[in-house]
Structure 1
């Protein structure tokens, strides 16, 4: 039963993907008819730009409002086109040049997914005004969305709507990072050197933060501004901030002790070595105190927590690898199944090699005993 679980997971993923494709085809067939729109504008990768002139439309029942409105359907790729997995559609709308800039605020846009919604019947909070002569948004390249354009008051004219596919390579890096973390979660969680390295790195930063916090009392900035300086460092770069504040602290101490400038560089080296050793010692103590059990292995509860925390982080990376949620779920389930198969194969090969090594050692010991 356990050996077939990855295959079942992969099968369920394929069934889920097929259901998504079928539901998408159904919406394409009946969405426009349900909305009462016989011939809507269609924007897709084959037709990436068009000019739309909203037509005159009366307001709701018992309303005397008259406005101009039109709907544009933005159609994406089929989900079988995996080359657009990490891409996004950027939809932009720009008023024509004949519309004065002061009238742009009366051009409202509703971006929605409800194909059965009546023309320009979006809720009041869903409308967005055109600002600075442009409206833009992003969407998954595999879905269908609708852009309702409404001209309020006496405004009339045309707008240009375009869709541009943008490949976001950082999403592919998220997919690769998520897969690697998912693969290494069960291995790293029981690997003792991993805890020593991470704890030493954490201890190093804790020592630096403690020294800076104590050293700020000696500087003119005062203790009150340490929080703001820390926020500044986190935004513009923690490394630059730490080096800058450490140099100021060391310089102030050296000046107070009356040391010459020639001694500053050797003191910097010794201070850096001391901080590294202190951080490493703190991290080593934390590992020996809270993580490693008496037999030298990682505590089971800690290993389980780290394993599932790593898997959650990996899942988050995979979900960030695409804007399309169904494909992200398929990628997660598939990655989980593939990683499970790889780990089972790796554990089987490791046990086989370990058994072969024991057999060779036993035969060698038997041969040595017979020889004696």
Structure 2
């Protein structure tokens, strides 16, 4: 771990190699401020930048990350380099100490203003599992799946920060045995463990963002739980796809890990067969697979460890596909990877897969079982990635507790 005058454990997830950004407030000062997590502390970045006279102080002094996101890659790199330098230079300790807060004592908020939200479906194993569960007599993957990153436009207005209660949704559902649709609370409420990517620098309407320009537009990475009402979804999704079964809540983690912190986590994606069309091909020598290891817990019990490195389509390809028709991206737009699942049951990222459509309930400590979520259940998703010089990059966690439907 690089030197710092702060006392930080060598295996700290928020060490100087990570330095994720968030928005926080404190009991004595309720206004929202941009912060950087370092060890067990949060640095009030705007106050520190103003005290030092940093040229980027204006970009980090607001109530959200929006101005920093819009500043573009050169400023992102300047801010990160400056913060790392300040934390390594003992001369700066006197400037920064007054602006450090105990992380356990701050309140965290949604870190940026969400523009548009797109959710993808990019894990081959997840898509294969879903196909086998719902279409056991057919090919599990749809004919287009290996030719393009499949996605849908979600609802930005119901993206909520970690810790926000998730109200069980109500709506229509119909099983093959039902003579007519039923209305009421979802009985098959599920999770989807995903990774999100927030756009900083926008693109112009009518222009494409090539795979090679991914890092010029995407600011950072965070965790996502795409809550899903499987029974509502199954009845409504033909022919246009997810709607009310997804739009009631999407939870995001409060810390955004800058893309630069993940240089050591970059890895080659799986071999693609057939080779994608030219606009989706990986940039030469610039793979954007990421070695991120997720963990999913239900009421504190570890359910699975989904590996992001197995994702068939990378975030760079997802952005390229999202803009290939000329659709623009704006500051604050974000997109999620889709459910992350590996090859074994201990690597599945949804209860749909873990319980195999409800046929094989998951056993919990004490003898309880779950096929889908019950009221009062709390889900927590965490993740780590390899950092520079053997360090660990942490993403914090995204949590949510299910509360009863409002009828």
TM-score class, shorter-chain normalisation, is under 0.3
Greater helix percent: which structure? 1
Which structure has the bigger radius of gyration? 1
Greater strand percent: which structure? 2
